[in-house]
Structure 1
Amino acid sequence: MRHSLPLAPQFYVTAPQPCPYLPGRMERKLFTALQGDSAEKLNDSLSKQGFRRSQNVLYRPSCSDCSACLSARIDVRRFEPSKSQRRTLKRNANLARRASSPWATEEQYALFRRYLDARHADGGMADMDIFEFAAMIEETPIRSRVVEYSDVASGALKAVCLTDVLDDGVSMVYSFYEPELQRKSLGTWMILDHVEIAREAGLPYVYLGYWVPGSPKMGYKAQFGALEVYRRGCWERMEDPEEYEQERHPLSTDPIAEQVANISLPDSRG
């Protein structure tokens, strides 16, 4: 009888490149492949340790002189929308949610292109063609869903979120929306609706990706109550965003070897 033993995931570091969030900084990422029978278990475990998924890769910022990128999640049980967020919910009462298997469509891509051209024309995804878009949506070894939001009256697609289902929550991998509807705050609304999705599923958290103190691009995440951030190996409630300015200091980060050594891997035996 032949037995094959599971191999522990191997971790690698990307070459430094300009940081998209903080000017004058360089970023690098720690990453590992997400594949095989244990992919879902590995994704669940590393997501709780600040990692994010991109297709078949799990990654976490691991910069040499900065640790400002903090994984953020909403504690669903403690969350209550603000007055502004309640108004956002009312403004989008005309939208209906539909969740399906991760399958890319031409309608999604057309909305994605309008969103990029209007909001991120100079970003890293600006040149993504329909085949690369399909790969982003469809190449997933875990439980993922495409959550579409359409106008009830016309049926027109207005917003989309690629969402992973974890054992303790839902993770918003990537979202985009109709840029002409800026006043409807669709980005905020999708987060609010994912809080409701998590509640409906009995899951305690909504993972939002990274919050970066000092970055205007990521400032909106601090506006959500019951927010937690992953810092120095544990999750903590975020009280005052200004308390995290020190994470941009060059001495705030641990050596890469120490970071890897402190990663907790799931038990591969069951």
Structure 2
Amino acid sequence: MTDLKELHFFATPEHDCSYIEGYKAKTLFVDPQSDVSDSAYSQLSDLGFRRSGKHIYRPHCDHCQACISVRIPLTHFKPSKSHRRIINKNKDLRIEIKAPYYSDELFKLYQRYINERHHDGDMFPPSEEQFVGFLVESNQTSEFVEFYLEDQLIAVAVVDVLQQGLSATYTFYDPSEALNKRSLGSYAILWQLQACESRQLPYLYLGYWVQACRKMSYKVNYRPLEFLIDGRWILIR
């Protein structure tokens, strides 16, 4: 497998930014032909890289530093009252952890979530091919964490397993009003924090935070966070 120092990278041309309207963005990718080891992927995560399908990337914009990688340090995190309420509301859920796979049940849940929650985003309209390419295909160690209410699948957290933590790659859930009070997106993060603790892993990586992007504002609800600024992880309370 390719070691970090042996990896090759390429940058995309400028394209419309997904996070800030009117901005242009560039993305730096690891050569998709590289066989990236778990160790190298873990190191890349500490350098601000993320995974989408088989692609490992990070923002590489010429004149903008708005995308900041964030992670939750387990040694500093203490659940708030609202966090504890969310955990209590979801104590009746059954959890199953599986290797990534495709099924009609999974895709239909993903499809509903994208159609109702992200119809203005890059992943709309959802397709089976997109689902597989984005969430199922991976050259890294990944898991589908499935949340069931009795026998009904209501949420899935896609998680990458790093040497120093877990990476919250994506979460999709049933957007129906009947389940809204469960705060399933928040519960998925809280469950992953508990999983980090049980596996004795010190960090949960949440991807990028962009101050101007409303859809990313939820991440600051898990302070204290560590922000990757100028190549250093800085704790911000």
Give, in whole Å, the separation in 2 of the partners of 1:213 and 1:24. Answer: 15
Q: 1:231-264 CA deviation, whole Å, 9 max, x = no partner?
A: 100101123xxxxxxxxxxxxxxxxxxxxxxxxx
2:182 to 181, 184, 195: 184
- Measured after TM superposition, the shift of residue 183 of structure 1 is 2.5
Is the CA contact (8 Å cut-off) linking 2:16 and 2:23 kept in structure 1?
yes
- Per-residue CA deviation, residues 45-64 of structure 1 (Å, 9 max, x unaligned), is 10011000112211111111
Preserved contact between residue 76 and residue 205 of structure 1 (Cα < 8 Å)? yes
State whether structure 2 residue 161 is matched by structure 1 residue 159. Answer: no
Aligned residue number for residue 79 of structure 1: 77
**How many angstroms does 1:5 deviate by?**
9.3
Partner of 2:37: 39
Q: Which residues in structure 2 correspond to 1:117-266 (within 5 Å)?
A: 117-151=115-149, 153=150, 155-180=151-176, 181-239=179-237
Q: State the secondary structure of the residue aligned to 2:170.
A: strand
What is the one-letter code of the residue matched to 2:15? Answer: Q
Of 105-114 and 8-17, the range deviating more from structure 2: 8-17
- Counterpart amino acid of 1:160? V
Is contact 2:68–2:228 with CA below 8 Å preserved after alignment? yes
Identity %: 36
CA RMSD of aligned residues (A): 1.9
Question: What is the CA-CA distance between 1:37 and the residue it aligns to?
Answer: 4.7
The 2-side partners of 1:125 and 1:215 are apart by 16
The corresponding residue for 1:106 is 104
- Alpha-carbon distance in 2 for matches of 1:114, 1:38: 33
Distance (Å, rounded) in 2 between the aligned partners of 1:37 and 1:177: 32
Distance 1:93 1:234, change over 3 A: same
Query: Aligned-pair distance for 1:126?
Result: 1.2
Deviates more, 1:225-234 or 1:28-37: 28-37
Length, aligned pairs only: 234
- Which residue identity lines up with residue 69 of structure 1 in the other structure? C
Larger gyration radius, structure 1 or structure 2: 1
Q: Which amino acid aligns with 2:168?
A: M
CA distance in 1, matches of 2:206, 2:102: 22
* Contact kept? 2:2, 2:35, Cα under 8 Å: no
Q: For residue 6 of structure 2, give the secondary structure of its aligned residue in structure 1.
A: coil
Corresponding residue of 2:17:
19
